[in-house]
Chain A
Amino acid sequence: MKSRREFIRTTAAGALILGSSAAANKLGLAAMLDQNAQHAEAAKSKVVIARDAALHGPGGQLDEKRVLDLLDRAIAAYTGRDHPVEAWKRIVPVDKVIGLKVNGLGGRGISTHAALVLAVCERLQQAGVKAGSILVWERDARSLEACGLTVNTDPSRVRCYGNDVGGYEDQPVAFGRVSVRLAKILTRQCDMVIGLPILKDHSGAGITFAMKNMYGVVQQPYELHANYCNPGVADLNCIPTVRDKVRFTIGDAMTAVYNGGPGFRPEYLWQPNALIVGEDRVAVDHTAWQMIERKRAEAGVATLEADGRLPQYIATAADGDHRLGTNDPQRMHRMEI
């Protein structure tokens, strides 16, 4: 097993400042991105799985004080920077508006943990992002409340509200078989979005994590559930605004549901005590899927394929028509810390 320092040294070369090319140019970082892009071309997609076995106490309660440390370890591993502030500066453009797309659709008990959201907000601000330039969002106020968050539209503080406040574009945009009206929070307010999904089994998609979380940025997500969300998930993520702005995932796998999802099913709840972090949304989802399959096997539950719910959209997202990332484990660099 590598020490943390060795690990950071070997991964340092892969660290990038994330964001669209246009945003990077505005920041004067085009040259750096070009240089890194040459390395990235040949590099494997990096996915960090950071764990803390003591994250939940004996009574099953999340020890919120440990979440920030877990986040720091995950980001340090991903960026190769040991200092959290320096690490975050390599992930976000600090003078831009950063959206944090959480997932509260499963209701209380299986929604993105507020402790994780607050930890990300804290580090973003320490890295130089103004409080008012951070926007935590979901479909509506109720979904945010399910995460333990409170609606706030005051621009002097971290903002937190739903599409029910922000509204949707009048004109639909399309890719493949998908035609949707996007949330204005995504199209008009955020320069870059970090996805903060929560790991869940999904009766209509197999699993829901990084890419499926984007169903919360459209007005009628239910229309995209046909054929086990395939190619709906992949097509939606290929819409340029989604593809370009949603650049990073900090997946909440501290608590997860391995069957019976996407709602709260205490009988299928489990605590992986992990964060899954990465830039390649397909690799992140593939990693999350394998995590769920391992748990299902351990619990004696049929594989998703045997259950007729193979998350085929992950492969679709990686195919030649979508090219959103890789679903080939050989082309991933998975780091478990």
Chain B
Amino acid sequence: MLRSKRWMFAAAAIAIVAAAVATGCKKRAIDPFPASGAVAGWEKTCDTRVFAAKDLWQYIDGDADQYTSAGVVSTATSDYKYQGQLEATVDVHTMGDAAGARKILEAGQTKDAKTVQLGDAGVEYAQSVIFRKGPYLVRIVAYESTPDTPQALLALAHGVEAKL
């Protein structure tokens, strides 16, 4: 009896470890960037670049401080183009926890921010969309303001959100 219980414990432990490993692998495997055409009109125009927290300054210079102090783990970025014209950059910051993502989102808001239904919370401006979902903080900026920009950015943001 005692022996069979030991086997049951061992099996349960193995299952838990396996589940943890699988979850971990799944997290590492997350690719938040929609492929070209996955969101109507949007093309992914460059390879994804990933920066560990210690190297983040190489990408965003002095801005890195606020992210590291909020517990950023890594940042991934890629460029996009909408209908061959409107260019945008998508940054996905993986924070240590949801509180870190919330801290960054709330710190950067202005009175012009419009709340949008994205992830756990999100805001949009004329040329950018920022939202958080769990430990992820996503910032999408466009380099031009056109009548189509807000709607196009929002569509791309939903595409990213769906992959997180």
Contact = CB atoms under 8 A, between A and B. Distances in A.
A221 B112 CA distance: 33
Given A108-B89, A108-B143, A266-B142, A205 B128 contact: no
Given A107-B89, A203-B66, A225-B57, 16 more contacts: A106-B61, A107-B60, A108-B89, A203-B63, A203-B65, A204-B62, A208-B62, A261-B62, A263-B60, A263-B63, A264-B143, A265-B108, A266-B141, A267-B110, A267-B126, A267-B128
Interface string B78-93: 0000000001010000
Contacts of B110: 259, 267-268, 301
A263 B61 contact: yes
Given A107-B89, A108-B89, A264 B62 contact: no
Contacts of B143: 108-109, 264
Given A108-B89, A266-B142, A203 B126 contact: no
28 contacts: A105-B61, A107-B60, A107-B89, A109-B143, A203-B62, A203-B63, A203-B66, A204-B63, A204-B65, A208-B62, A221-B57, A225-B62, A229-B62, A261-B63, A262-B60, A262-B61, A262-B62, A263-B60, A263-B61, A264-B143, A265-B128, A266-B127, A266-B141, A267-B110, A267-B125, A267-B126, A268-B110, A301-B110
B111 interface: yes
Given A203-B62, A205-B62, A225-B62, A266 B145 contact: yes
Interface in A53-70: 60
A61 B120 CA distance: 35
A229 B87 CA distance: 33
B64 interface: yes
Interface in A254-290: 259-269
A300 B126 CA distance: 18
Interface string A114-126: 0000000000000
Interface in B107-121: 108, 110-113
A109 B89 CA distance: 11
Contacts of A225: 57, 62, 65
A46 interface: no
Interface of A: 60, 105-109, 202-205, 208, 221-222, 225, 229, 259-269, 300-301
Given A260-B108, A266-B127, A109 B65 contact: no
Nearest to B142: A266
Contacts of B65: 203-204, 225
A310 B11 CA distance: 60
A266 B125 contact: yes
Contacts of A265: 108, 128, 141
Contacts of A300: 111
A105 B58 CA distance: 8
A159 to B, nearest CB: 23
Nearest to B91: A263
Task: Give the most central of A60, A225, A264: most B CB within 10 Å.
Answer: A264
A195 B144 CA distance: 27
A202 B126 contact: no
A289 to B, nearest CB: 16
Contact of B141 (A60, A109, A221): A109
Task: Give the most central of A60, A107, A108: most B CB within 10 Å.
Answer: A107
Nearest to A300: B111
Nearest to B146: A59
A297 to B, nearest CB: 15
Given A108-B143, A221-B57, A268-B110, A262 B125 contact: no
A108 B87 contact: yes
Contacts of A266: 125-128, 141-142, 145
Interface in B41-74: 57, 60-66
